[in-house]
Structure 1
Amino acid sequence: MRKAQRFTFRNFFHRPSLTSSMKPRPVNVYSFVPFSPFAMLDPTILTIGGIVLAVVFIEWLLDRWSVMNLADQFEKVMRFILPVTFYGALFYFFATFMF
């Protein structure tokens, strides 16, 4: 049989209890998104990243060689293609990511 604790109304509100009536329980915590940095080494992601870097390098070379007309046209095309490629690769990464 448990021993009951008695408190007066005044002591209940003005002084904290010396013993806790609740016992801590062990809590199991699980991660819903296990993420590893090695997941970015997917060959498809690396290929898309390499293509994007090659395109940027070609545009830099055209600008450096003073072929401004061709570099400007290249930039106009890449202004649309690069964001589409980025969001496509991001979608592919999360669609094929193993949880």
Structure 2
Amino acid sequence: YSFVPFSPVAMLDPTILTLGGIVLGIAIIERILERWGVIDLVDQFEKVMRFILPVTFYGALFYFFATFMF
């Protein structure tokens, strides 16, 4: 018996899944553009993603712990 109930289903929060899906979609688009040879646009995506990925990760982590009931 655990005094701190924890379920892995709690990580299936729609907000976190949406943010993860958006970031994953942008990464897939970046790889497709790289395969097509549009390197200038890929460089722009890389500059934006270098900022968005950490902000999204820490924001989702903060949101998860702020809404998770211990």
Q: TM-score, normalised by structure 2?
A: 0.90
Q: Tell me the percent identity.
A: 77
Q: Tell me what 2:25 maps to.
A: 54
Which runs of structure 2 are paired with 1:55-94 in the superposition (5 Å)?
A: 55-94=26-65
Q: What per-residue deviation string (whole Å, max 9, x for no partner) do you get for residues 54-97 of structure 1?
A: 01111111111100000011101110111100100000000000
| DSSP-derived class of the 2:5 partner | coil
Residue segments in structure 1 that go unaligned for 5+ positions in a row: 1-28
User: How far apart in 1 are the matches of 2:2 and 2:22?
Assistant: 38
User: Where does structure 2 lack aligned partners over 5 or more consecutive residues?
Assistant: none
> 1:35 maps to what in 2?
6
Higher RCO (Cα < 8 Å, 6 or more apart): 2
Aligned length: 70
Task: Could you list the structure 1 runs, at least 4 aligned residues long, displaced by more than 2 angstroms after superposition.
Answer: none
Q: CA RMSD in A?
A: 1.4
**Structure with max Cα Rg:** 1
The amino acid that maps onto 1:92 is Y
Cα offset, 1:34, TM superposition: 2.9
Could you give the per-residue CA deviations for residues 5-28 of structure 1, whole angstroms, max 9, x where no partner exists? xxxxxxxxxxxxxxxxxxxxxxxx
Task: Report the TM-score, using the length of structure 1 for normalisation.
Answer: 0.65
Q: Post-superposition shift, 1:35?
A: 1.9
